[in-house]
């Protein structure tokens, strides 16, 4: 933005107008794009467009609807120029833990973890006509499912079922007809429902309750730090998956996951800090660095639960993302001599 005034409004006026909507607009761009970095680019571009267009805003719709129109179309422009984001389980078949692990795929094809709580994303529904809770709509399964939709269907589903826009508002946002919106929504709902689990993480977490969820996370952390493969496997569903974007390799089932952990992570020393990501429980994982004599940020494990068991571990090997979750870059402990040597 420029420092010059724009009509009667100054840049400070504009900031005060849009600030109450920034968190939800950022979440909307993330849902559209599956990437925090792309969402930040889209939001900045959208706000710049809004600033330039402010003198032409005539108030025929609410400011919120107007901003969403700009953010949606900015995201659509970005989608047309970039590859869709996926998780490793959608990128290729599961791997054998004895195969060569391979190099990380550095292309921008992976869904990124989202710090919904620190971004200020609220719980509950965005509006009375919405079908998905706001935190439901940033869960990994939902984000992965909508990335498979054609861009316009994706926009329609998010505007109608996440934000609770009417068919007319959605048609105006996308400069199309109500008939086209309703047709796209039917196709989008059908495609997403085929990919989503029967129960969202929000429903699962509420059913378990805070104390049981805490016990699950503490048990997971304890098993990892002790290198107890049997304890970890006991916590997993039979068909659990373990993936590690940006690596394309991923593993399914107890035998494959046990082989991977035994040959890889359990040869190292770790410490962990519980957190939240994508409306789900998560754990920041810190790897021992002998030169620095501390544990350094390495992997963010996002856990997907089914009842009190883990059905998916999505281990984002993105230490640069730790700051977004309020996690430190390294952890020091009082007595390193007590650390297990795996």
| Residue-level pLDDT at 342 | 38
Position 336 confidence tier, pLDDT thresholds 50, 70, 90: low
| Residue-level pLDDT at 123 | 85
In this prediction, residues 71-79 reach a mean pLDDT of 97
> How do strand 309-316 and strand 250-252 relate by DSSP bridges?
unpaired
Is pLDDT at 231 greater than 70 in this prediction?
A: yes
Length of the chain, in residues: 342
pTM for the model: 0.92
Instruction: Give the side-chain half-sphere CA count within 13 A for 74.
Output: 24
Q: What is the pLDDT of residues 145-186, one digit of tens each?
A: 999 999 999 999 999 999 999 999 999 999 999 999 999 999
Q: What is the pLDDT of residues 278-293, one digit of tens each?
A: 999 999 999 999 999 9
In this prediction, residues 306-316 reach a mean pLDDT of 97
Average pLDDT of every residue of the chain = 92
Contacts of 146 (CB under 8 A, 6+ apart): 31, 34, 154, 157, 158, 188, 192
| Residue-level pLDDT at 335 | 55
Is pLDDT at 219 greater than 80 in this prediction?
A: yes
Domains of the chain: 11-82+113-195 (1.20.140.160), 209-338 (3.10.450.50)
Long-range interactions of 288-297: CB distance < 8 A, separation 24+: 288/339, 289/330, 292/330, 293/332, 293/336, 294/330, 294/331, 294/332, 295/269, 295/270, 295/271, 295/330, 295/331, 295/332, 295/333, 296/329, 296/330, 297/322, 297/327, 297/328, 297/329, 297/330
Tell which residue, 158, 122, 142, 139, has the closest CA to residue 279: 139
How far, in Å, CA of 311 to CA of 194, rounded?
18
Tell which residue, 262, 269, 276, 264, has the closest CA to residue 233: 262
Q: What is the pLDDT of residues 10-62, one digit of tens each?
A: 888 888 889 999 999 999 999 999 999 999 999 999 999 999 998 888 666 78
């Amino acid at each position: 933005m420029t420092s010059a005034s724009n009509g009667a409004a100054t840049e400070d006026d504009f900031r005060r107008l849009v600030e109450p909507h920034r968190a939800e607009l950022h979440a909307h761009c993330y849902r559209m794009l599956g990437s925090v970095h792309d969402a930040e680019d889209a939001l900045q571009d959208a706000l710049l467009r809004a600033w330039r267009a402010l003198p032409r805003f005539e108030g025929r719709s609410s400011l919120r609807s107007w901003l969403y129109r700009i953010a949606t179309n900015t995201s659509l422009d970005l989608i047309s120029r970039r590859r869709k984001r996926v998780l490793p389980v959608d990128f290729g078949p599961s791997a054998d833990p004895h195969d060569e692990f391979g190099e990380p795929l550095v292309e921008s094809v992976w869904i990124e973890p989202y710090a919904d709580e620190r971004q200020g994303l609220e719980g509950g529904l965005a509006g009375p006509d919405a079908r998905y809770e706001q935190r439901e709509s940033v869960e990994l399964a939902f984000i992965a499912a909508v990335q498979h939709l054609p861009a316009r269907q994706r926009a329609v589903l998010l505007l109608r079922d996440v934000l609770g826009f009417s068919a007319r508002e959605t048609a105006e946002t996308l400069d199309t007809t109500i008939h086209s919106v309703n047709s796209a929504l039917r196709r989008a709902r059908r495609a997403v429902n085929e990919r989503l689990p029967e129960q969202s993480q929000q429903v699962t977490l509420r059913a378990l309750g805070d104390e049981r969820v805490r016990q699950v996370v503490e048990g997971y952390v304890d098993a990892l730090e002790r290198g107890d493969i049997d304890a970890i496997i006991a916590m997993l569903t039979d068909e659990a998956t373990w993936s590690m974007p940006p690596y394309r390799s991923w593993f399914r089932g107890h035998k494959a996951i046990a082989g991977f952990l035994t040959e890889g992570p359990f040869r190292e020393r770790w410490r962990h800090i519980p957190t939240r990501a994508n409306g789900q429980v998560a754990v920041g994982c810190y790897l021992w660095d002998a030169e620095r004599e501390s544990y350094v940020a390495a992997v963010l494990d996002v856990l997907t639960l089914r009842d009190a068991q883990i059905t998916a571990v999505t281990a984002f090997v993105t230490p640069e993302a730790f700051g977004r979750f309020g996690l430190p870059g390294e952890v020091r402990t009082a007595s390193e001599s007590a650390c297990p040597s795996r």
